[in-house]
Amino acid sequence: MERRIGKNLSAHAEYQHMDFGGDNVIIAYSDGVVSTYSFSQRMDTVTVGVNYRF
């Protein structure tokens, strides 16, 4: 979203949510132990800025 705040100025802000999903990983170690690990990847970002127009 961008808004004009003066003759030559504008401000903008942006929000992004990213969800890359998840998975389970099973690891069998050499000593016979088996472990399951779960993971998911999510990210939220906010960007703000000011633009000057010549």
| Tens digits of residue pLDDT in 5-37 | 999 999 999 999 999 999 999 999 999 999 999
Domain encompassing residue 10: 2-52
Which band of pLDDT confidence, cut at 50, 70 and 90, is reported for residue 38?
very high
Cα 13 to Cα 1, 3, 34, 48, distances in angstroms? 6, 9, 47, 4
In this prediction, residue 52 carries a pLDDT of 95
- Give pTM, 2 decimals: 0.57
In this prediction, residue 14 carries a pLDDT of 96
In this prediction, residue 37 carries a pLDDT of 95
Q: How many domains does the chain have?
A: 1
In this prediction, residue 28 carries a pLDDT of 95
Cα 27 to Cα 37, 38, 40, 41, distances in angstroms? 8, 11, 17, 20
